[in-house]
Amino acid sequence: QKEVEQNSGPLSVPEGAIASLNCTYSDRGSQSFFWYRQYSGKSPELIMFIYSNGDKEDGRFTAQLNKASQYVSLLIRDSQPSDSATYLCAVNPSSGYALNFGKGTSLLVTP
């Protein structure tokens, strides 16, 4: 079973703080990793992808990957109430066609 685990939350952070979202995966052969944001009642929207160990920054978002620990995280700096959503971690499997998705972490940014 190729599992992707996320804490369901809710993770509550004050406006302006850093939100840290974590994800672990079981498929050691996975090579690419994705973060999606999903607002309530809407479909998932891709916000970041990362292929190599280390950090990748895009605006207020930073994705971090540690393949040895099978761990990927998303940091959101200067969190805004508009960042309140569910964040899905997705992992490309070593075999098969479809990404493996975690169940998501609910983030609440309070003013």
Partner 1 sequence: DVKVTQSSRYLVKRTGEKVFLECVQDMDHENMFWYRQDPGLGLRLIYFSYDVKMKEKGDIPEGYSVSREKKERFSLILESASTNQTSMYLCASSWGLAGAGSYEQYFGPGTRLTVT
> What is the nearest approach in angstroms of partner 1 to the Cβ of residue 33?
10
Task: Spell out the long-range contacts of 60-64 with Cβ–Cβ below 8 A and sequence spacing 24 or more.
Answer: 61/35, 63/33, 63/35
Task: Give, as ranges, the residues between 4 and 23 that touch partner 1 (CB under 8 A).
Answer: none
Task: Give, as ranges, the residues between 41 and 80 that touch partner 1 (CB under 8 A).
Answer: 42-46, 49
CA gap 79, 16 in Å, rounded: 5
CA gap 46, 87 in Å, rounded: 10
Measured from the CB atom, the residue of 42 and 77 that comes closer to partner 1 is 42
Bridge pairing between strands 19-25 and 4-5: antiparallel
Query: Which one of residues 104, 105, 107, 109 is an interface residue with partner 1 (CB under 8 A)?
Result: 104
Rule CB under 8 A: say whether 95 interacts with partner 1.
yes
**Contacting positions for partner 1 (CB under 8 A):** 31-32, 34, 36, 42-46, 49, 88, 90, 92-99, 101-104
